[in-house]
Structure 1
Amino acid sequence: MRVAIAGAGAVGRSIALELVESGHRVMLIERELTQIDPTAVPDAEWVHADACELALLEDAGVEGCDVVIAATGDDKVNLVVSLLAKTEFGVRRVVARVNDPRNEWLFGENWGVDVAVSTPRLLAALVEEAVAVGDLVRLMTLRQGQANLVEVTLPADTPLAGRPVRAVTLPPDSALVTILRGGRVIVPQPDDALEPGDELLFVATTAVEDDIRDALAHP
């Protein structure tokens, strides 16, 4: 997979290193010459350019990328990069970094963003996931904000203890995708018995999250 990353600061470089190690072809686009350091990610292609300039993105070959990641420290820049990537180059997947949580509402389909990554939200979700038992925690927003990855840890007094997965009647637009139990990752089957402490991961639209809570509390 070919990936373009706008912004070669600490975040952009870290992402690039991870993707290169996974075997992907990575291009780092950076406006500030002082940030250009090919030795930091030697297997990546480095481009000195302003990622907000359409002609420069065209020269860099962004149209040949499968994914564009807008990872600069400026939300305005990340929005412009996302919009250009999606509307001008038809990039299939656009991921954008949200620096200021107050701007999160902007990072959606109208600006060409498929996935918005907000560090404050992720950290808050991880804290909630660690301490919240029995409540639903939203871990990540997927696909232009139309669905979320959500988690519920079954409490010790769950009415689902010992009951099979098929006993849970989930609402439309939701799916149980994984059960985490200790060090195991379980692909749920209808006859698998649920246990207290199980972490259930769902993909669901925001509109049905309350229905998932009800389904788990009153099977």
Structure 2
Amino acid sequence: MRVAIAGAGAVGRSIARELITNGHEVLLIDKNPGSIKPERVADAEWLLADACELSSLEEARLDNCDVVIAATGDDKANLVCSLLAKTEFGVPRTVGRVNHPNNEWLFTEAWGVDVNVSTPRIMSALVEEAVTVGDLVRLFTFRQGQANLVEITLPADSPYVGQPTGLVPFPENCALVTLLRDGQVYVPTPEQPLEQGDELLFVVPTEKEDELERLLAPTSHGG
């Protein structure tokens, strides 16, 4: 897979290293000469160019890329890069970095962003996930499917503690994908009983989140 990353700062370089380790081809693009440091990611291609300029993206051969990641520290630049990648070059998958939470609402398909990654949201979600029991925490949003990856820690007073997962009447289109218990990751089976303190990860439509939360933690949420 060929991936272009706009923004060769610390974030862009870290993403590039990970992708290269996984066997992908990576091109790093940055308009700041001080950010062009090929020795930092020796196996990547490097291009000194403005990722908001159509001519620069033509030089980068974005039409040959499978994914474009807009990872600069400027939300406006990330939006423009994503939009050009999608509309002018038909890139199948675009990922946009959100630097400021107030701008997150812009990072949608209308601006060419298939997936947005908001560092502030992820950090706050991780904090919530670590300290809350019985509250649903949204970890990630899948833009194309209008669904979210959410986590809930099963409280002691949940009516489904001790019940097999196959007997829990989860809302329609809610999928339990992972169960975390005592530091172990389990792929849930219908026969596996739920236990107090289990961390349950679901893919769930946005409109079903409240229903899922009330089902598993009715005492706290009026279910």
- Give the TM-score, by structure 2 length: 0.94
* CA apart distance, 1:206: 1.0
Report matched runs for 1:1-219 at 5 Å.
1-144=1-144, 146-217=146-217
Mark the CA change 1:109 to 1:145 in structure 2 (over 3 Å): closer, same or farther: farther
* CA apart distance, 1:16: 0.8
| Rounded Cα–Cα distance in structure 2 between residues aligned with 1:174 and 1:59 | 44
Q: 2:82 is paired with a residue of what secondary structure? A: helix
| Rounded Cα–Cα distance in structure 1 between residues aligned with 2:172 and 2:85 | 33
Which sits farther off after the overlay, 137-146 or 207-216? Answer: 137-146
* CA apart distance, 1:49: 1.0
Q: 2:117 is paired with a residue of what secondary structure? A: strand
Residues 178, 186 of structure 1: 8 Å contact kept: yes
* CA apart distance, 1:141: 1.0
1:108-151 per-residue CA deviation (whole Å, 9 max, x = no partner) reads 11001111111111110000000010110001111347111100
Q: 1:173 is paired with a residue of what secondary structure? A: coil
| Rounded Cα–Cα distance in structure 2 between residues aligned with 1:155 and 1:171 | 19
Runs of 4+ off more than 6 Å: none
* CA apart distance, 1:179: 0.6
Amino acid at match of 2:113: V
Q: 1:23 is paired with a residue of what secondary structure? A: coil
Residues 108, 144 of structure 1: 8 Å contact kept: no
Q: Percent identity?
A: 66
Residues 157, 217 of structure 2: 8 Å contact kept: no
| Rounded Cα–Cα distance in structure 1 between residues aligned with 2:44 and 2:80 | 23
Q: 2:196 is paired with a residue of what secondary structure? A: coil
Residues 94, 114 of structure 1: 8 Å contact kept: yes
* CA apart distance, 1:188: 1.3
Residues 168, 215 of structure 1: 8 Å contact kept: no
| Rounded Cα–Cα distance in structure 1 between residues aligned with 2:126 and 2:193 | 26
Q: 1:150 is paired with a residue of what secondary structure? A: strand
* CA apart distance, 1:213: 1.1
| Rounded Cα–Cα distance in structure 1 between residues aligned with 2:216 and 2:156 | 13
Residues 154, 217 of structure 2: 8 Å contact kept: no
Residues 165, 190 of structure 1: 8 Å contact kept: yes
Aligned residues: 219
| Rounded Cα–Cα distance in structure 1 between residues aligned with 2:16 and 2:41 | 7
| Rounded Cα–Cα distance in structure 1 between residues aligned with 2:90 and 2:45 | 21
Give 5+ residue unaligned stretches, structure 2: none
Query: What's the C-alpha RMSD, in Å, of the aligned pairs?
Result: 1.4
Residues 147, 206 of structure 2: 8 Å contact kept: yes
Residues 8, 72 of structure 2: 8 Å contact kept: yes
Amino acid at match of 2:216: L
Give 5+ residue unaligned stretches, structure 1: none
